[in-house]
């Protein structure tokens, strides 16, 4: 796409960031008065949706790309909140299954610390925090932004189904006895693990679950969260489960379902908000 040569809004309600285009394409398609911009090699669309200005695009895969792109966006625009969306792999031993959605209540940094033959030791063992927040030293775990607590009050964990529309919102299921497996998914809040290399087999995934107790793994979340913390911007990680961590057979993956369900939860929040966060 050719970059638009026009002025951009002074304030953006939400930046919605996926790693790859398939994680954000449907959101880009529904934006009105859309403008296109290139930021450090990544393409973004800025437009309006139900009266709110959104910035939608990709960071590139992995924590380095995610941090670089997010930092560049936050330096260039006035952004009220950042969403990291897309797919993730759930740990078989945890409570999530394919199609379910996880909102990170805690962001675990899987590449910080000390790697030993007996497992991973906390970054705290090194004694150097990755981030300081006021008087608090953060090592290999970042707490969720306060906006996540607001989100949970409005969109409670539980069973949901998709509404209608090109990018549907999520609706809670009132009568569980009428539910069938197809078309429904669960929303959970819990720990999310970010790693440089995802689990390549079930044994690695099992070991990671024992080390961290996370519900799912991804490759960007903690880096975007850390960048947002440094800029003082509220951050939400919301991911749909496309596969079991450690299962590399893509015939078993359900990317479309994972991304659609993730989008539905995010849209429910954004469209229900009035005004800014300030």
Nearest to 111 by CA among 248, 221, 242: 221
Contact 218, 239 (CB under 8 A): yes
pLDDT tens profile 225-247:
999 999 999 999 999 999 999 99
pLDDT at residue 161, rounded to an integer: 93
Nearest to 219 by CA among 62, 107, 43: 62
Residue 167 has pLDDT above 50, yes or no: yes
Those residues whose C-beta lies under 8 Å from the C-beta of residue 161, and which sit 6 or more positions away, are 170, 171, 173, 179, 183, 184, 185
Q: Scan for tokens 């790309």, then name that residue.
A: 65
Question: Could you give the CA distance from residue 121 to residue 112 in angstroms, rounded to a whole number?
Answer: 9
Strand partners, 89: 217, 243
Residue 176 — pLDDT band, cuts 50, 70, 90? Answer: low
Parallel/antiparallel/unpaired status of strands 78-79 and 52-58: unpaired
Q: Scan for tokens 């959101």, then name that residue.
A: 27
pLDDT tens profile 195-227:
999 999 999 999 999 999 999 999 999 999 999
User: If you average pLDDT over residues 168-177, what whole number do you get?
Assistant: 76
pLDDT at residue 278, rounded to an integer: 39
User: If you average pLDDT over residues 49-71, what whole number do you get?
Assistant: 97
pLDDT at residue 277, rounded to an integer: 47
pTM given for the model = 0.92
Domains of the chain: 11-272 (3.40.50.1580)
Tokens of 273: 């908000």
Tokens of 15: 């930046």
Radius of gyration (Cα) for the chain, nearest Å? Answer: 18
């Amino acid at each position: 796409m050719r970059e638009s040569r026009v002025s951009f809004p002074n304030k953006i309600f939400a930046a919605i960031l996926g790693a790859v285009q398939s994680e954000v394409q449907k959101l880009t398609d529904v934006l009105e008065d859309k403008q296109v911009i290139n930021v450090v090699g990544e393409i973004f669309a800025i437009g309006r949706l139900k009266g709110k200005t959104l910035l939608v695009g990709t960071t590139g895969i992995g924590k380095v790309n995610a941090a670089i792109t997010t930092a560049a966006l936050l330096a260039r625009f006035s952004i009220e909140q950042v969403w990291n969306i897309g797919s993730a792999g759930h740990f078989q031993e945890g409570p999530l299954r394919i199609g379910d959605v996880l909102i990170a209540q805690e962001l675990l940094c899987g590449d910080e610390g000390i790697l030993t033959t007996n497992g991973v030791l906390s970054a705290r063992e090194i004694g150097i925090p990755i981030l300081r927040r006021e008087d608090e030293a953060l090592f290999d775990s970042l707490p969720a932004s306060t906006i996540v607590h607001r989100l949970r009050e409005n969109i409670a964990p539980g069973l949901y189904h998709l509404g209608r529309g090109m990018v549907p919102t999520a609706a809670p299921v009132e009568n569980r006895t009428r539910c069938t497996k197809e078309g429904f998914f669960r929303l959970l809040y819990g720990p999310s693990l970010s790693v440089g290399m995802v689990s390549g087999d079930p044994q690695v995934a099992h070991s990671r679950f024992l080390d961290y107790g996370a519900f799912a793994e991804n490759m960007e979340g903690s880096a975007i969260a850390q960048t947002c913390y440094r800029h003082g911007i509220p951050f939400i990680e919301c991911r749909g489960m496309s596969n079991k961590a450690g299962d590399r057979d893509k015939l078993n993956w359900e990317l479309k379902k994972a991304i659609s369900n993730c989008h539905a939860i995010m849209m429910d929040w954004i469209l229900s908000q009035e005004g800014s966060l300030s």
